[in-house]
């Protein structure tokens, strides 16, 4: 029996990080230091959520623009009911 080797392909995704600094009140910084929280992770999470929210708002605005540019038409149900009434 011949042994057949196998290969494991590992995909490594390296995410490059950049430094973004901001100024906060000294009192706020002191309060932050009282708690064992990974503030960088919390801030990054907040930023990601905010970006998703803004993308959704942008998509809704574009959708509203497209819908408002469509010509107004009578709903199909209304037309069918009128036709039915007129035929009776």
Q: 40-58: per-residue pLDDT in tens? A: 999 999 999 999 999 999 9
Distances (CA, A) of 46 to 5, 17, 60: 46, 16, 21
Residue 1 has pLDDT above 60, yes or no: no
Percent of the chain scored above 70 by pLDDT?
84
pTM of the complete model beyond 0.95: no
Please tell me what DSSP assigns to residue 19: -
Place of tokens 């007129």: 86
Distances (CA, A) of 33 to 20, 24, 45, 49: 19, 13, 19, 24
Three-state SS for 9? coil
């Amino acid at each position: 029996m011949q042994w057949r080797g196998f290969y494991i392909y590992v995909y490594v995704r390296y995410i490059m990080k950049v430094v973004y600094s901001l100024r906060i009140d000294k009192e706020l910084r002191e309060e932050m230091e009282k708690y064992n929280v990974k503030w960088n992770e919390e801030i990054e999470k907040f930023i990601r959520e905010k970006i998703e929210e803004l993308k959704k708002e942008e998509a809704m605005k574009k959708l509203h623009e497209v819908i408002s540019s469509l010509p107004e038409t009578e709903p199909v149900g209304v037309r069918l009911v009128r036709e039915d009434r007129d035929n009776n």
